[in-house]
């Protein structure tokens, strides 16, 4: 089996990742959750002013360290977006091995992240980040469409490789080939996907 080497620039994250640790000064209160849940697109009004109250967002808890945010990339994407937009939020840590009843009431499928927008619980990181961009357009974090496809097949190619049971089905070679065009793109347009700008939604 071969190994794939992806340059650090291909995996660059914002420096705000250090802000994604659990904030113990927020009390985690299950009584603040109501029974509202929605996965339908929301109609939102554009507002550049941050919310008066912190946005409640349920995210995966660490499996190994108490009171820490877990390793869910979907939760981290939403938290990074909140950080980059300088929006106040209150993380609600959810142990996905032992999902509490309050969490299943707001997320019947038991998936994270889930965020409370105006009394309605919204799931799916794509929908959440899109709604955050619409409600709080400044600073803009949307990647221009012409740049959004750079490296977009790496993850699915990696998953295909992991699921493959046949060493001769070509998934290993596909995985080895996939980072090359992405790294070429970064060399020409980088250092980040969006050029000099370090965050892409």
In DSSP notation, 45-93 reads ----SPPSSPEEEEEEBPSSSTT-B-S-HHHHHHHHHHHHTT--EEEEE
Closest CA to 92 of 109, 75, 105: 75
pLDDT at 49 > cutoff 50:
yes
**Mean pLDDT of the region 45-54:** 74
Structure-token pair, residue 117: 């927008």
Higher pLDDT, 134 or 12: 134
All domains of the chain in start order, with CATH: 31-135 (3.40.30.10), 143-189 (1.20.1050.10)
pLDDT at 52 > cutoff 60:
yes
**Mean pLDDT of the region 23-28:** 39
Beta bridge partners of 194: 197
Instruction: Give me the pLDDT at residue 4, please.
Output: 43
**Mean pLDDT of the region 125-133:** 95
DSSP category for residue 196: T
pLDDT at 125 > cutoff 80:
yes
Instruction: Give me the pLDDT at residue 150, please.
Output: 81
pLDDT at 6 > cutoff 50:
no
pLDDT at 14 > cutoff 60:
no
**In this predicted model, what pLDDT tens digit does every residue of 158-181 receive, in sequence order?**
999 999 999 999 999 999 999 998
Active site residues: 72
- Kind of pairing, strands 114-117 and 55-60? antiparallel
Of 15-24, 51-60, 129-138, the one with minimum mean pLDDT is 15-24
Dist CA 106 CA 170 (whole Å):
42
Instruction: Give me the pLDDT at residue 198, please.
Output: 55
**In this predicted model, what pLDDT tens digit does every residue of 187-196 receive, in sequence order?**
888 887 767 7
Q: How many CB atoms lie within 10 A of CB 34?
A: 13
Dist CA 29 CA 128 (whole Å):
22
Highest mean pLDDT among 45-59, 87-101, 131-145, 174-188: 87-101
HSE at residue 73, side-chain half, CA atoms within 13 A, is: 4
**In this predicted model, what pLDDT tens digit does every residue of 83-109 receive, in sequence order?**
999 999 999 999 999 999 999 999 999
pLDDT at 200 > cutoff 60:
no
pTM (predicted TM-score) = 0.61
């Amino acid at each position: 089996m071969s190994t794939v080497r992806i340059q650090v620039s291909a995996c660059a994250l914002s420096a705000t990742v250090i802000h994604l640790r659990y904030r113990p000064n927020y009390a985690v209160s299950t009584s603040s959750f109501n029974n509202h849940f929605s996965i339908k697109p929301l109609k939102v009004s554009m507002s550049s002013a941050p919310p008066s109250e912190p946005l409640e967002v349920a995210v995966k808890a660490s499996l190994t360290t108490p009171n820490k945010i877990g390793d869910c990339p979907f939760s981290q994407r939403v938290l990074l977006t909140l950080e980059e937009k300088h929006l106040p939020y209150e993380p609600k840590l959810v142990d996905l091995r032992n999902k509490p009843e309050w969490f299943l009431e707001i997320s019947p499928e038991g998936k994270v992240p889930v965020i409370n927008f105006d009394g309605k619980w919204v799931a799916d990181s794509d929908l959440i980040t899109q709604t955050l961009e619409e409600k709080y357009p400044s600073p803009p974090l949307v990647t221009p469409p012409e740049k959004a496809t750079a490296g977009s097949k790496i993850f699915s190619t990696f998953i295909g490789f992991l699921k493959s049971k046949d060493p001769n089905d070509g998934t290993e070679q596909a995985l080895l080939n996939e980072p090359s065009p992405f790294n070429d793109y970064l060399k020409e347009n980088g250092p980040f996907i969006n050029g000099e700008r370090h965050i892409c939604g």
